[in-house]
Structure 1
Amino acid sequence: MADSRDMYIVHSLFRREFPAAAALVRTVVADDAGAAARVADHVLLLTGALTLHHSGEDKYVWPTLLLRVPDETAPLVETMESQHEGLHAAVAEVEERATVWRRSAASADRDALATTIDAMIEPMSEHLVAEETHVLPLIDEHLTDEEWAEAGKHGMSAVRKSQLPLVFGMLLRDARPEHIESFRAVVPGPVWFVFSRLGPRAYDRYARQLGLDRVTAA
């Protein structure tokens, strides 16, 4: 059956990167168009990853749980889908603010983006806790490892090849050994061999260039 502990790696990424992104946005000097563009692109990378994560659950997890154990999972799935809808609206607002700031580099647009990211962190965190508490045990009980791997493949298949090392590095950044073990089990061996080595270096370089290392160390 499925081993969904790799979900904790993905959740750890979101818990770490979104607050850091809000802090990073606030460090950008007004009218620095280059820095605004780079940081806005980083924010859009994160929102894209969150959207992919949720679309994989919507496509591969909820329908299977409803098919296998409808009475037990129907109220829970309804709650999860409702939370997804709320987060999708929050993500759309963050993306709109990021796009505006990317064009203007104005301090007012910068501050509006940071505030909008801040506003989505609490509902996102509540949703992640609910998934870990209520959904992961059901996944492990009712989905096969092959079915669970499909959800992971959905997200990774949408990542540009040039960004794969960076994404691996983000995922592995704070991962616990048991969660890495679960993640490795659903990644093809050659892919793991390459990107588990390239990823941490790619993320460290990216964080230094962007200034993420400064805000996360603060």
Structure 2
Amino acid sequence: MTTHPTRRRQLPPGRVDFSIMYLTHDAFLRDLERLRAATREGRTGDLAVRTGWETFKHQLHVHHVGEDEAIWPQLRERLERAEDVAVMDLMEAEHGAIDPMQDRIDAAFAVGGGELASAVEEFADALAAHMEHEEERALPLVETHLGPEGWARYSQYMLTSQGLPEAGAYLAWLLDGAPGAAREKTLGVLPEPVRTMFLDRFEPQYAAAGHWSATAV
């Protein structure tokens, strides 16, 4: 099993529980390392690697659409200081740069070699930097200006916009290799029927699909 990485964060406890956001970012970091490993080892033609990459792209798209629709516009409306508005501009610009980098990787899969390695490193560095900027600059603004109520509206948007099958697939991806405490906390907030469905249906479906390698899940 591939260990789920955890970024060390020096953030004091606040009014908003961002743990699901941090866990999502850690899952992206986990898959970036898997992509790097597959590139180094020449496995990018493997079905498991392509499946992992497509799942990664889908989850990143859903994640960024949720932010662009349900967090950043509402937050921007409440900001007055130019330096805070600049953070929103940065989030928008960094989101806009992601898709072209992914397209470069897709094109480079057919070429391989140095072009693919370069595309993967460019993308991995850019996404890691974006998530760090988001955690250090944007989320404190969310806590100050939107608070728990605003964060709850975002969480509700993500649930209602995805539906149960999509949410189940997200959770299976999210908890792939996650630390036991994080897994227990995440599953602990689910209603019993949903938790049972996740364990009996969604998680086995994710495992059966094969992601990155036979030993990754």
- Answer yes or no: same fold by TM over 0.5: yes
Q: Secondary structure at the match of 1:174?
A: coil
1:97 CA drift (Å) = 3.2
Match of 2:106 in 1: 95
Letter in 1 for 2:178: D
1:90 CA drift (Å) = 0.9
Report Cα offsets for 1:95-142 as digits up to 9, x if no partner.
3334xx3xxxxxx43664344222211111111111111222322331
Match of 1:136 in 2: 139
Match of 1:75 in 2: 86
1:195 is the counterpart of 2:198 = yes
Q: Secondary structure at the match of 2:67?
A: helix
Written as runs of structure 1 = structure 2, the 5 A alignment for 1:106-121 is 108-109=111-112, 112-121=115-124
Q: 1:177 aligns with which of 161, 175, 181?
A: 181
Q: Which range moved further: 122-131 or 141-150?
A: 141-150
Report Cα offsets for 1:3-55 as digits up to 9, x if no partner.
3221011101110112202322454569xxxx545532431221222122112
Q: Secondary structure at the match of 1:213?
A: coil
Q: 1:61 aligns with which of 67, 71, 86?
A: 71
| TM-score of the pair, normalised by structure 2 | 0.71
1:17 is the counterpart of 2:31 = yes
User: Is contact 1:18-1:121 (8 Å) kept?
Assistant: yes
| TM-score of the pair, normalised by structure 1 | 0.71
User: Is contact 2:172-2:202 (8 Å) kept?
Assistant: yes
- Identity, in percent, stands at 19
Provide the C-alpha distance between the structure 2 equivalents of 1:59 and 1:42, rounded to a whole number of angstroms: 26
Give unpaired runs (5+ residues) of structure 2: 1-14
**Which of the pair is proportionally richer in helix?**
1
Give unpaired runs (5+ residues) of structure 1: 102-107
Provide the C-alpha distance between the structure 1 equivalents of 2:139 and 2:21, rounded to a whole number of angstroms: 8
